[in-house]
Structure 1
Amino acid sequence: MISIFRKKCFILIIILTFFHCKKEEKKEVDIYDWHTITVTASAYNSLAYQTNSNPSITAFGDSLSPGMSCIAVSRDLLKMGLKHNTPVKIEGFDSIYLVKDKMNARWKKHIDIYMGTDIKAARNWGRREVIISYGILKE
């Protein structure tokens, strides 16, 4: 009787091991086609003298608060596919930024990186050329 019990346990262990090993790992699927361009990047803060009388509300109507990873884009970039809430990777930054604001029509191939109320960080960033990658949903 003990040997039958051991055999059943052994078979059960083999079956459980087989099913456990058969599971496939879920692969993360990238839902975006990534496009890369070079742009001029500056920085801005949510302060009335840099924007308007309601500096925490974007041109798209989103509310900004310090700590958010957001950018504003020039209107020519909107036409290239950097629409509202498009994910953007910026050279030199680890975070993925979202397009939450649009800039005055006079700017071309330009992004503005949101830096909350940290004026010193924005000034230290200055203006420079960077490579960005932006995601457009795959069809």
Structure 2
Amino acid sequence: MKFINLDDVPIRKLRSLAKRINWKKLFSVASMKGIALLLALAVFPIQLAVAEPSANANGTDALSERVALVSSTALVQPQYEQMTVTATAYNSLKGQTDDSPCIAARGYNLCEANMENVIAANFLPMGTKIIVPELHGDQVFTVVDRMNSRYSKYCSDTECRLDFWMREYSDARKFGKQTVDIIVLSRPE
């Protein structure tokens, strides 16, 4: 790379060079790179520590203890609540719901969305996300509706109950009543 002493360059040449540079584009590209770097650091935080080994009272070095502490905390997996529930299915029919069969308790329009990824449950808060691995693999279901009040808000000693919303009446009949294991991924704050 060759460096130029700006004192040796005539002013006219510097002005023409400055005019040829697209300053808006240069600033825009630099800003984007800066934002990308900030996002990368936010998503992938980097912690660097440099320390010389120093023996402590019990003969182990402090650096080894720090590495062990970081290693053990970095690999902690989130713990999800698992439970066994009784599952049934329902449709948007007046005989199975209230007088507005397409509108869930949370205001979600089941018929318009036409997505079989919602459940009704009284024992879970609205917005709770679950999976049912044995039936649906890793498909995520969200609590957007409530069941009839006879299915209490709390699980009884014998069962907790939830309802899968299904488009077709025949699919809900075929589903019947099953005992399944669910995994609660998240509950709203």
Please state which band the TM-score falls in when normalised by the shorter chain: 0.5 to 0.7
- 2:164 is aligned with 1:113: yes
What's the offset of the Cα at 1:67? 2.3
Instruction: Give the Cα–Cα distance (whole angstroms) in 1 for the partners of residues 187 and 144 of structure 2.
Output: 17
SS in 1 for 2:179: strand
After superposition, the Cα gap between the structure-2 partners of 1:137 and 1:52, relative to the gap in structure 1 and judged at 3 Å, is: closer
The residue number in structure 2 matching 1:87 is 129
Query: What are the superposed Cα offsets for residues 9-63 of structure 1, whole Å, 9 maximum, x if unpaired?
Result: xxxxxxxxxxxxxx9xx78xxxx75211000000000112211221011122221
Q: How does 1:69-88 map to 2 (within 5 A)?
A: 69-73=117-121, 75=122, 77=123, 82-88=124-130
* TM score, norm. by length of structure 2: 0.50
In the TM superposition, residue 138 of structure 1 has moved relative to its aligned partner by 9.8
Normalising by structure 1, report the TM-score. Answer: 0.66
Query: Displacement, 1:131?
Result: 0.4
Aligned length: 106
> Is the CA contact 1:42–1:127 (under 8 Å) kept in the aligned structure 2?
yes
- The gaps in structure 2 that reach 5 residues or longer are 1-39, 45-77
Give the unaligned 5+ runs of structure 1: 1-22
CA distance in 2, matches of 1:102, 1:87: 14
Q: Which of the two has greater helix per residue?
A: 2
Percent of aligned pairs sharing the same letter: 33
Contact 1:43-1:122 at 8 Å conserved across structures: yes
C-alpha RMSD over aligned residues: 2.5
Compare relative contact order (CA 8 Å, sep 6+) and give the higher one, 1 or 2.
1
Q: Offset at 1:85?
A: 1.5
Helix, strand or coil at the partner of 2:89: strand
Structure 1 position 105, deviation (Å): 2.3
